[in-house]
Structure formats: C-alpha cells, structure tokens
Amino acid sequence: MKKIALVAALAATAAAPAFAQSVTLWGRINTTVESQKFGSQDRKVVVQNNSSRLGLKGSEDLGGGLKASFSLEHGLNSDTGAATGGTTFWNRASWVQLEGGFGGIRLGKWFPGSYFATADYVSNHNHDTGTSADALYATQFYTNNKVSYFTPTAGGFSAELSAAAGENATTRAFDVAVNYDMGPAHAGLGYEKKGDFTQIAIRGLYEFGPVVIGGYVQRAENTFAGVGKKDWNVWRASGMYVMGQSEFHLNFGKADKMVADDGAKQLTVGYNYNLSKRTKVYGFWTKVDNQSKGNYQTGVAGQDFSSLAAGIRHNF
C-alpha cells in the first residue's frame, strides 16, 4: 500500500511529492525601443514588449505508445514586468494532454489552432508579436474551457478539432485547424465560430531556397448592432530572404471594410540579424493605414499608426 503510505506522509508533513525533475522551463524576452506615432499625436519613444513569455512543460512516457504532457505558459510585459493577463497569470496556456496512436486529447486553455495554422504562420519577421504583429486578422481568440482532439500526422496532414464550453455564461466556441507539410510546401486551414462570428482562412508557404513566400486569405462574418450580418475579406502576403545570419522581411496585409469605410492596410519592412538560434537583434518599420472609420491597432476610428523599432529577442 505504497500509495496510502504516501498519503500518510503527505498528511503528516504537508510536504509536496518529489517526482523526478521532469519540467522544462523555457521562455522568450523580446523587447524593442520604438519611435511610435499615433495619428497626429507627437511621436514618442517607447520601450515595447513583444509578447515576452515564460513557460513550463513536461511529458511522461506511459508505455504502450501513450504519453501524458502538460503546459503552463505566462505572458509578461518585458518593459514593466506586468503580467500581460493580470490575475489570469497563465494567459497563454494551461493544459493537460493524453496522446497515443489515436492522436491526442487536450483539456484546458491554449491559443486557437486556427490562428497558428494561418496568421501566425506567415508573420514570421517577429513571431507575429508587438506593434508589427498582424493587426487585421479577424478572430475572437477564445481560449478558455477547451477540449480538443489532435489527429495523428498522416501523409503530411494533421488537424486539431476544438470545442470550448460556454458553461451557460457565454456562447460555445469551435475551432478547427488543418496543417499540411510536404518538403518545401506548407499549407494550412483555420476555421473559427463563436456566436455570430465565423471566420475561415487558408494559408500557403513555400521555400524557394533562401527565399520564403507565404500568405493567407480569410473570409469573416459577424453581426453588427443596427446593421446586421456582414462579411469581409482579409489577406496577407509575406516574403523573407535569408543571407547568412541575416533575414530580410516584407509583410503586407489588407482588411476590407466590414460595414462602411472601416478597413485598413498594414505594411512592415524588417531586418533580423541572428546572433545565434536563440538570440537576434532586429529592426523594423511598420505602418497601419486605417480608413476613415477603421480603428485597427489604435482603437481610434481613422487614426493611423506607425513605428520604427530596434530590439533584442532572446529565447531560453
């Protein structure tokens, strides 16, 4: 009755069980110094976080091809030390998973697979973070109370089917991601539905030696108060040229109007110098041009945004 002996020991000492150290600590600090301009306001110098994070993960081989794993992932503002999610400390992930030949079952919180399969995949000049992140991609990005099934990879294809419980307090959310990889060709599909909001996007990326070209097209639909149901398109194209430790990036996106004159365009030009696989220094210039009623990135109708940035990204 070793189990009970353990329970007894716990009760007597309130000590924690000492399993073999099986946890990997990892993270990324990604900080820029930027000269930002919002609309006609004075240009300002900002020390800017770019989705810095800290994670813990681990897995256990259960035998017979079964594996258990977990992930906890915390977003932090590297400029101020604030938790990005406030008291939702593990705002990026907190899940437990069982996987085997059948695929995987995951419970908890994590980012939508539809996002990783599409928008995140092609904005690779700075990991789709910070002020040069894709500001136009349409998503509800619901991450709580999820249950997912991950298929095994077969013929280059893999998929994630996700449902998020509304718990009678909010609407249920559904998310589907399909990824395909075959040599230099990569493609993905994302589908997301939450209440009246629906979006579907397809993505492609191809490696021509040192040149990588990618993009996605998205169709989104939502219901707007006093207006009713509207559809709109978003698309993005990105290119990278690799020369030694240098990467040259170009990234352009466009969101059509949803209701009236509320679309936007976004352009980013970037340069990365990889000091190692873990550490780079980089710079970029990015701009969001809103139509008269568009408020992408700024939250203010018709206000444009631009930034010139230089920074350091360190993975650990």
Going by C-alpha positions, the residue among 203, 223, 233 that lies closest to residue 115 is 203
CA 220 to chain centre: 18
Contact status: 25 vs its own copies (CB under 8 A): yes
Contact status: 60 vs its own copies (CB under 8 A): yes
Q: Which residues contact 25 (CB under 8 A, 6 or more apart)?
A: 54, 55, 56, 316
Among 85, 152, 171, 231, binds its own copies (CB under 8 A): 85
Contact status: 110 vs its own copies (CB under 8 A): yes
Contact status: 243 vs its own copies (CB under 8 A): no
Which residue in the block uniquely carries the two structure tokens 């013929």?
155
Looking at beta carbons only, is 215 or 311 nearer to its own copies? 311
Which region among 62-70, 134-142, 222-230, 261-269 touches its own copies (by CB under 8 A)? 62-70
Nearest distance from C-beta of residue 258 to its own copies, angstroms: 27
Contact status: 55 vs its own copies (CB under 8 A): yes
Please, are residues 287 and 12 in contact by the beta-carbon 8 Å criterion? no
Query: 3-state class of 12 per DSSP?
Result: helix
Contact status: 225 vs its own copies (CB under 8 A): no
Contact status: 19 vs its own copies (CB under 8 A): yes
Contact status: 207 vs its own copies (CB under 8 A): yes
Contact status: 39 vs its own copies (CB under 8 A): no
Please, are residues 141 and 119 in contact by the beta-carbon 8 Å criterion? no
Which residue in the block uniquely carries the two structure tokens 């298929």?
151
Going by C-alpha positions, the residue among 154, 157, 160 that lies closest to residue 192 is 160
Which region among 157-165, 231-239, 257-265, 300-308 touches its own copies (by CB under 8 A)? 157-165
Looking at beta carbons only, is 85 or 292 nearer to its own copies? 85
Among 135, 281, 300, 308, binds its own copies (CB under 8 A): 281
User: Degrees (nearest 5) of the Cα angle 66, 70, 76?
Assistant: 160
Which region among 145-153, 217-225, 227-235, 296-304 touches its own copies (by CB under 8 A)? 145-153
Structure tokens at 72: 């906890």
Contact status: 260 vs its own copies (CB under 8 A): no
Query: 3-state class of 270 per DSSP?
Result: strand
Which region among 45-53, 223-231, 287-295, 296-304 touches its own copies (by CB under 8 A)? 45-53
Q: Which helix (H) or strand (E) holds 103?
A: strand 103-110
